[in-house]
Chains A and B, each alone.
Chain A
Amino acid sequence: MLEKKNGAAIYLVDNSAMPQTLLIKNGRVIDPANSIDEKLCIGVENGRIAWLSKDVPAGFTAQKEIDAEGMWVTPGLADMHVHLREPGREDKETIETGTQAACAGGFTAVACMPNTNPALDEESKIRYVVQRAQDCTCRVFPIGSITKGLAGEELSPFGEMVRAGARAVSDDGKSVRKASIMKNALNYSKSFGIPVICHCEDSDLSHGGHMNEGAMSSLLGVWGQPSIAEEIIVSRDILLASYTGARIHIAHVSTEGSVRIVREAKSQGIAVTCETCPHYIALTDEDLSSYNTNMKMNPPLRTRQDRDALVRGLADGTIDVIASDHAPHVSEEKDVEFDAAAFGVIGLETSLPVVLTDLLDKGILSPSEIVRKMSVNPNRILGLGGGTLSSGVNADITITDPRVLWTVDSKYFFSKGRNTPFEGLKVKGCARYTILGGAVVFERKVMQ
């Protein structure tokens, strides 16, 4: 049991929690897959959803009762873009600490990227991750690499990786430079029914850039990477997907042009989905005026115009998923001059609050749409099996309180990383309970 106290709030992560018979009452149950959005009670038994109804069935006794008055009860949230750093950089994060951070953020499932050291480019590496994740407080689904060692030359063995548990392939961190290799990868992926997740970046155009190329980069005297570096590869990969008939998912969309290109591709029936991250919604390159390295990531924060386009893309369904791209770094790699700082910010413990503050509170997305973006769609795209509260499914449940006002303080994070762009931000809303297979693995108590 891990406990952190932040003033009157206590965060508890229980990695030895056992499945219990649970009664969750008075909560607003939001289950878009089953078209449910109403006040209901839920019973959990033997690690599965037993029933949903207005009244508690006679004879049902629970070991633990949760009063979810004023809160949302939804299928467990799934973050499909996370860097757990293990194997290789356990100093930045381990599967254990990363999953603790995930459940503290309300997630019951994460998909982890293969750019570890060694890379997850074959069966044994995938099995390693699956095994290390076994008793953790969040489900971990590995993503295998597209190419061996992420070198962009030879395809990884998709078949054996999928057999070992991989749900997708990606060379995230970079693009597959050669279009011919990407074409082969897309074709080959069709045999396994998995999506190819594309990190879209023309490294020749983006080379040397530490932030978005624009007025701000000129003002700050920092070399920038242009938005077209992303858009050119988004176009390329969508055209390749269309040509091959494969299914792709565009990672961390950050520009207006990318949104437009995806929207157009979807209207033509091309099998493309995409995600954006909370930091691209909440921040812009104007927030970099103090050279804060905790706001340096790749792709970089873009302009207001890009941000507004992302918001529209979320509202009209062009963008299917909100994922964190959780990328922890040690302080030695961040507490340096801007140009030398590593790219990447953490996000598991701030995704939900930032989404609630910037999208729900501003009336851009409804609660139901938020659940789609953060649970239903990621589950569907990767075939994770979750995303619903149908009776009989695993009791992976997130209980969110959208009313809580608090301030982000990285001192209390469960992640090893402290590189958050939201330090000190006042937010509204947080996860109150995270239930994994019927076990309460995370709880946020408030002392009276």
Chain B
Amino acid sequence: MALSINHLLGLKGVPEKDITLILDTADNFYEVLQREIKQVPTLKGITIVNLFYENSTRTRISFELAEKRLSASTLNFSATNSSVTKGESLRDTMRNIEAMKIDMVVVRHSAAGVPAFLTRCTNATIINAGDGLHEHPTQALLDMMTIRQKFGRLKGLKVAIIGDILHSRVARSNAWGMTVMGMKVVLCGPPTLLPQKPECLGVEVTDNIDKALDGADIIMMLRLQLERQQSGLFPSIREYRERYGLDLEKLSRLPKDIIVMHPGPINRGIELASNVADGDRSVILDQVTNGVAVRMAVLYLLGGGDNA
């Protein structure tokens, strides 16, 4: 029982059996999180660096919690986006950190390809916590874990991912991972927020929300970054909300067992109405809990062993 990958750089190309193993392991870590003492000594003595070049409290805290629950030693490195003109180069930062004898790096960066770049700089195990517009694999894994919890399976379910697909690494990782697990994925957003060549992601892409929601078992809303309105990608929040936002009225026209997901943070009242976010079909808080379990599973499966 072992993963075929040595790092978690993304879900593209990761086989079904690896994803299944991670989800199964995560289910068992979920149990650990229900105990009174929510800690196991498994990763004691292992040092993990959280290298976060992009501001992100929630993902970093989730990883940090996962690391501490596994009794690992954690190191936090937060930096505003560093480029060679601003200060220490990424390679130098990595070298300095490695000189302090670390085992694993959890990295988030605004430039795609940074986790892959780090695998060439260091022997440590690399886990991608989000790189540019490229991938956010642990988010997709926790999304799948949540769906599996609610439905008992993944295969054959249809998920509609709605929002700013163009800038979303969450949409990409989910497109790769969910397709491999036998789910049907539909990506939906206004044409200005869809990739120019949508076929490249291997899933259905549409700007028609009704078409996307038709037959969906799961709706995943993506956060709309309000700055995008400044760059002219959509005319107004009001129009966006009307056409692509999810409110109780839209939800009431859909089957009763549909679940609503969101990677957070939510723009309440814009892509997701408060009464839906807090409603009984929302599994958003489950996603957060499962996030720690999934990250524990990933750290556990990649972290140990005589990989020298």
- A interface residue numbers (CB < 8 A to B): 213-216, 218-224, 226, 290-291, 332-333, 335-340
Q: Are the C-beta atoms of B112 and A291 separated by less than 8 Å?
A: yes
B114 at interface, CB cutoff 8 A? yes
Among A219, A335, A336, A337: residue with most chain B CB under 10 A = A337
Contact of A214 among B12, B114, B196 (CB under 8 A): B196
Contacts from B to A (Cβ < 8 Å): 12, 83-84, 89-91, 109-114, 116-117, 131-135, 169, 172, 195-201
Q: Shortest beta-carbon distance, B278 to chain A, in Å?
A: 32
Query: Taking CB as reference atom, which chain B residue is nearest A333?
Result: B84
Interface residue from B83, B89, B201 paired with A218 (Cβ < 8 Å): B201
Query: Which one, A214, A215, A339, contacts B112 given CB within 8 A?
Result: A339
When distances are taken between beta carbons in the complex, the residues of chain A under 8 Å from B135 are: 221
Give CA–CA (A390, B12) in the complex, Å.
60
Residue of chain A at shortest CB distance from B200: A215
CB within 8 Å for A222 and B132 given contacts A332-B84, A339-B110: yes
Closest to B118 in A: A337
Q: What are the residues of chain A within 8 A of B116 when measuring CB–CB?
A: 290-291
Residue of A nearest to B112 (CB): A221
- A338 CA / B110 CA spacing, docked (Å): 10
- Enumerate the 8 nearest inter-chain pairs by beta-carbon distance, A residue then B residue, closest first: A221-B134, A291-B113, A215-B200, A339-B111, A221-B133, A221-B112, A218-B195, A337-B111
- Shortest CB-to-CB span from B192 to chain A, Å, is 14
Which residue of chain A lies nearest to B134 when distances are taken between CB atoms in the complex? A221
Partner of A338, one of B89, B113, B195, B197: B113
**Which of chain A's residues has its CB closest to B197's CB?**
A215
Chain B residue contacts of A218, Cβ below 8 A: 195-198, 200-201
Q: A214-B197, A222-B113, A335-B91 are in contact. Are A340 and B133 (CB under 8 A)?
A: no
Q: Which residues of B contact A224 (CB under 8 A)?
A: 196
CA gap between A339 and B132 in the complex, in Å: 9
Question: Do B169 and A336 have beta carbons less than 8 Å apart?
Answer: no
Q: Are A338 and B199 in contact (CB under 8 A)?
A: no
The residues of B that contact A220 with a CB separation of less than 8 Å are: 112-113, 134
**A291 B83 Cβ-Cβ under 8 A:** no
CB atoms of B112 and A338 under 8 A apart? yes
Select from chain A the residue with minimum beta-carbon distance to B135.
A221
The interface residues of chain B lying within 8 Å CB-to-CB of A339 are 83, 110-113, 132
A214-B196, A337-B117, A339-B112 are known contacts. Are A222 and B134 too (CB-CB below 8 A)?
Answer: yes
Supposing A215-B197, A337-B90, A339-B112 touch, asked if A291 and B117 sit within 8 A by C-beta, the answer is yes
Q: How far is the CB of A194 from chain B (nearest CB, A)?
A: 35
A221 touches B132 (CB 8 A): yes
**In the complex, which residues of chain A have a beta carbon less than 8 angstroms from the beta carbon of B198?**
218
Residues of A near B114 (CB, < 8 A) are: 337-338
Q: Beyond A218-B195, A339-B132, A340-B83: 16 further Cβ-contacts under 8 Å?
A: A214-B200, A215-B197, A218-B197, A218-B201, A219-B12, A220-B134, A224-B196, A226-B196, A332-B89, A335-B89, A336-B91, A337-B83, A337-B113, A337-B117, A338-B113, A338-B114
Q: Cα distance A221–B196 when bound, in Å?
A: 12
The answer to whether B172 touches A336 (Cβ under 8 A) is no
Whether A338 and B111, one on each chain, are in contact in the complex, defined by CB atoms closer than 8 angstroms, is yes
Q: Which chain A residue lies CB-closest to B110?
A: A339
Q: Which residue of B lies closest to A342 (CB)?
A: B84
Nearest-neighbour CB distance to chain B for A213, whole angstroms, equals 6
CB nearest neighbor in B for A215: B200
B133 touches A222 (CB 8 A): yes
Contact B200 A221 (CB under 8 A): no
* Structural contact, B84 and A221, CB atoms closer than 8 A: no
Bound Cα distance A220, B111 (Å):
10
Give CA–CA (A218, B84) in the complex, Å. Answer: 25
Q: How far is the CA of A230 from the CA of B112 in the complex (A)?
A: 24
B84 touches A336 (CB 8 A): yes
A202 to chain B, nearest CB (A): 16
Closest chain-B Cβ to A80's Cβ sits at a distance in Å of 31
Q: How far is the CB of B174 from chain A (nearest CB, A)?
A: 14
Q: How far is the CB of A316 from chain B (nearest CB, A)?
A: 28
**CB contact between A336 and one of B12, B90, B112 (< 8 Å): that residue:** B90
B117 — which chain A residues lie within 8 A by C-beta?
291, 336-338
Minimum distance in angstroms from B202 CB to a CB of chain A: 10
Give A221 to B116 CA distance when docked, in angstroms.
13
Chain A residues whose CB sits within 8 angstroms of the CB of B112 once the complex forms:
220-222, 291, 338-339
Nearest opposing residue in chain B for A303, CB measure:
B197
Could you list some 10 contacts between A and B, CB below 8 A? A214-B200, A221-B112, A221-B135, A224-B196, A290-B116, A291-B112, A336-B83, A336-B89, A336-B117, A337-B117
Q: How far is the CA of A339 from the CA of B116 in the complex (A)?
A: 13
Most buried by B among A223, A332, A333, A338: A338
Interchain CA distance A219-B171 in the complex, whole Å: 12
The answer for the CA separation of A188 and B83 in the assembled complex, in Å, is: 41
> How far apart are the CA atoms of A291 and B172 in the complex, in Å?
17
- B89/A221 in contact, CB under 8 A: no
Find B196's partner among A213, A222, A335, A336 (CB 8 Å cutoff): A213
Q: Is the CB of A219 within 8 A of B133?
A: no
Give, as a whole number of angstroms, the nearest-CB distance from B203 to chain A: 12
